[in-house]
């Protein structure tokens, strides 16, 4: 098969969840001996120097980047209030991207065109006009659900009302556009079920994030090693900012009172200046790390305190692959095939978080056991090769 993948971010380098999920599909399809072509937006929100992309990657993907400016425009945002259309989606409409897509489709034929996230859906009509390929929407999240949840935790009434408007128009767009594709590949079964129950009339499948376990070394906890907490995730994503602040304000004071020498390391790209300036006892603001797996393996207990979001937390899958004990909220662990307190610890309230942290600090065997079972979970459900086989079978179904 020959597959064209349209992305709102470059899949290389894969520095955060979205690009990592896209690149997993790309690498998996190529490993399965299929042809892949990539057309991606290069935005000020996720900027890539094309010269930094290795020639080997360029050759095997034919990747091309189109510059798109996503700078917030208050005038356009105001006008959008009277259109009833999704501002989130309209920001990704680009004449330059349309021209490049048209140029590619006029020169090459594809079996599948995969749209990564609904933000790429404005190019569906163009794809249908210049290609007979089957179209797939790769839904990384239920996008409107993220904004609904954020609005629920927003204190400012005016901001909350605006966020609800954004969520409403995005929901209307999502639930309308899914029926215009030939198939929808959601990233979790929960998301796939949501689309089906919402009236999706085209085939829907769940295709989660997958990894090659051999790339994730497992490190055991030594009794003499320093025990530390850590978190890693893109800090320009509002749910990550919100969750970490909640943990620092509501959970950390009680934790550090009970364990004054315990340290908490926070890593993530695009960490806002105002966040870095905050001072908490024994909290180390690491910022972006060059090697995420090395960072994960240099600490002990992963903290995922998300209060909003959707889809699947890729860093949880990576932490599990490294055999780390993870303490997450129910929202953070959504979409993962976990068993509560067997391969991940769940805590939704500050007191629960304190209890789970205390359990880990007082029982190295518990941490080892949870980490071992977490890695086994990844082996069973999130092996890349198995996921790619499932995706290819889905391509065959919608093509027949």
pLDDT band at 147 (very low <50, low <70, confident <90, very high): confident
- What was the pLDDT predicted at 222? 64
Residue 42 has pLDDT above 90, yes or no: yes
Arithmetic mean of pLDDT, 83-100: 95
- What was the pLDDT predicted at 223? 56
- What was the pLDDT predicted at 2? 98
Residue 220 has pLDDT above 80, yes or no: no
* Closest by Cα among 165, 178, 44, 201 to 115: 178
pLDDT digits (tens, 9 = 90+) for 48-63: 999 999 999 999 999 9
- What was the pLDDT predicted at 335? 87
Choose between 145 and 201: higher pLDDT. Answer: 201
Residue 384 has pLDDT above 80, yes or no: yes
Arithmetic mean of pLDDT, 280-301: 93
230 strand-pairing partners: 265, 302
Residue 219 has pLDDT above 70, yes or no: yes
6 strand-pairing partners: 39, 115
Residue 277 has pLDDT above 90, yes or no: no
- The fourth-level CATH superfamily of domain 2-210+383-399 is Glycogen Phosphorylase B; (3.40.50.2000)
Q: Phi then psi for 302, rounded to 5 degrees?
A: -85, 135
- What was the pLDDT predicted at 272? 85
Highest mean pLDDT among 14-23, 37-46, 265-274: 37-46
Sequence ranges of the chain with CATH classification 3.40.50.2000: 2-210+383-399, 214-381
In percent, the amount of the chain with pLDDT more than 70 equals 98
The span from the CA of 300 to the CA of 283, in Å, is 15
pLDDT band at 359 (very low <50, low <70, confident <90, very high): very high
- What was the pLDDT predicted at 267? 95
- What was the pLDDT predicted at 154? 81
Give the class (CATH, top level) of 214-381.
alpha beta
- What was the pLDDT predicted at 15? 81
In percent, the amount of the chain with pLDDT more than 90 equals 77
CA 189 to chain centroid: 15
pTM given for the model? 0.83
Arithmetic mean of pLDDT, 228-248: 92
Largest Cα span, the chain: 65
CA trace torsion 337, 236, 287, 51 (10° rounding): 100
For the residues of 339-389, what is the DSSP string, one character each?
A: -BTTTBEE--SHHHHHHHHHHHHT-HHHHHHHHHHHHHHHHHH-BHHHHHH
Q: Angle between the 238-246 and 143-152 helix axes, to the nearest 10 degrees?
A: 40
**Taking CA 5 as the corner, what is the angle to CA 210 and CA 140, rounded to the nearest 5 degrees?**
45
The helix (run of H) or strand (run of E) holding residue 337 is: none
């Amino acid at each position: 098969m020959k597959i064209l993948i349209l992305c709102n971010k470059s899949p290389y380098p894969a520095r955060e969840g979205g690009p990592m999920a896209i690149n997993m599909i790309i690498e998996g399809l190529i490993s399965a001996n299929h042809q892949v072509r990539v057309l991606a937006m290069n935005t000020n929100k996720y900027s890539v120097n094309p010269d930094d992309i290795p020639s080997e990657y360029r050759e095997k993907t034919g990747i091309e980047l189109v510059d798109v400016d996503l700078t917030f425009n208050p005038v356009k945002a105001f006008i959008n209030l009277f259109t009833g259309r999704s501002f989130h989606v309209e920001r990704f409409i680009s004449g330059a991207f349309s021209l490049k897509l048209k140029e590619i489709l006029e020169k090459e034929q594809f079996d599948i065109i995969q749209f990564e996230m609904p933000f790429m859906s404005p190019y569906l009509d163009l794809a249908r006009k210049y290609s007979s390929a089957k179209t797939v929407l790769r839904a990384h999240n239920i996008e409107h659900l993220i904004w609904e949840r954020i609005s629920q935790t927003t204190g400012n009434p005016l901001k909350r009302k605006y966020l609800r408007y954004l969520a409403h128009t995005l929901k209307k767009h999502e639930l309308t556009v899914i029926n215009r594709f030939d198939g929808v590949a959601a990233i979790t079964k929960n998301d796939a079920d949501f689309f089906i129950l919402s009236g999706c009339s085209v085939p829907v499948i769940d295709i989660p994030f997958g990894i090659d376990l051999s790339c994730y070394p497992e490190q055991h906890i030594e009794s003499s090693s320093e025990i530390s907490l850590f978190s890693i995730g893109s800090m320009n994503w509002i749910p990550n900012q919100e969750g970490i602040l909640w943990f620092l304000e509501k959970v950390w004071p009680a934790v550090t009172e009970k364990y004054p020498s315990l340290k908490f390391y926070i890593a993530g790209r695009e960490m806002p200046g105002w966040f870095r300036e905050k001072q908490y006892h024994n909290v180390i603001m690491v910022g972006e790390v060059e090697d995420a797996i090395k960072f994960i393996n240099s600490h002990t207990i992963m903290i995922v305190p998300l209060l909003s979001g959707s889809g699947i937390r890729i860093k949880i899958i990576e932490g599990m692959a490294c055999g780390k004990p993870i303490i997450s909220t129910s929202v953070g662990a959504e979409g993962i095939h976990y068993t509560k307190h067997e391969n991940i610890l769940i805590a939704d309230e500050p007191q629960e978080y304190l209890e789970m942290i205390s359990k880990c600090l007082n029982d190295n065997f518990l941490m080892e056991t949870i980490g071992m079972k977490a890695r086994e979970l990844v082996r069973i459900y999130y092996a890349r090769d198995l996921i790619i086989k499932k995706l290819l079978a889905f391509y065959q179904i919608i093509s027949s």
